[in-house]
Amino acid sequence: MTKPRIFIACDSKNPKVIKRIISQTKTNKLDIGYKIGLEFFTSKNGRNFISKLKKEKIFLDLKLNDIPNTCAATIHSLKDLKNILFLTVHINGGYKMLQEIKKASRKINKKLKILGVTVLTSLSNSSIKQIGHTKSINELVKKQASLAKLAKLDGIICSGHEAKLLKRICKRMEIITPGIRLKGDSSSDQKRVMYPKDAFENGATAIVMGRSITKGNIKNNIQKLIKSLKKINNEN
């Protein structure tokens, strides 16, 4: 039976908070990893703390987006962090940037998977029009996913709503969906949210959850998540 894969977003710059999140989300019912973002990575003790997480599955969410040489150099600067399994980059950086990032990643760590970020889950159709896009989110995400595939990225980041659209384009690629909430939770600053079970049914290979798990009683929230995914566990 395949366990649902969940990445817990550790959105803090305080190592003590992240240690608590890790210790309280341990369970044999789920395949748990931890998403570490730019806030913590660039904090005083961030990089050193990450290097010591030898037993955890680490998803480094840096969303790289710069000229190809700078991004490739950034990848090489991560060569000491052998415990990173996933790293995010913005697909909007273009084919050449994606190609150089993928090439550099193979040199430093063959296990490192590069994930292309499509449209952020905090954006809506009106938001992307404000920044100059004329296509709808669905059209834009399909175009971005095709580019990620062409550049031989290992997967994409998209909302659960677009996961269903991208299953055909992204065969054999990771489809990881953020903006996931438990029933009854606020969507907060996210525009395109979804429940865990629905995201997996739409084709997600993994989901990212933050505040729904880390706010309040973490252990209770993990149990709520397990209960909400029970049907998926039984089907697998």
- State which amino acid sits at residue 99: Q
Q: Which of 101, 93, 97, 98 is nearest to 77 (CA)?
A: 101
Strands 58-64 and 31-37: parallel
Q: Which of 196, 141, 189 is nearest to 167 (CA)?
A: 141
For 8, phi then psi, to 5°, come to -90, 125
CATH superfamily of 5-235: Aldolase class I (3.20.20.70)
Contact 101, 71 (CB under 8 A): yes
63 is catalytic: yes
The reported pTM is 0.90
Q: Which of 166, 208, 217 is nearest to 190 (CA)?
A: 208
Domain map of the chain by residue range? 5-235
The gap from C-alpha 131 to its chain's centroid, in whole angstroms, comes to 23
- State which amino acid sits at residue 90: H
DSSP letters, 140-156, are HHHHHHHHHHHTT-SEE
For 56, phi then psi, to 5°, come to -100, 155
Catalytic residue among 63, 142, 149, 197: 63
In order along its 236 residues, the chain shows pLDDT tens digits of 689 999 999 999 999 999 999 999 999 999 999 999 999 999 988 999 999 998 999 999 999 999 999 999 999 999 999 999 999 999 999 999 999 999 999 999 999 999 999 988 777 788 888 888 878 888 999 999 999 999 999 999 998 889 999 988 998 999 999 989 888 765 565 556 789 999 999 999 999 999 999 999 999 999 999 999 986 655 54
Q: Which of 155, 159, 98 is nearest to 125 (CA)?
A: 159
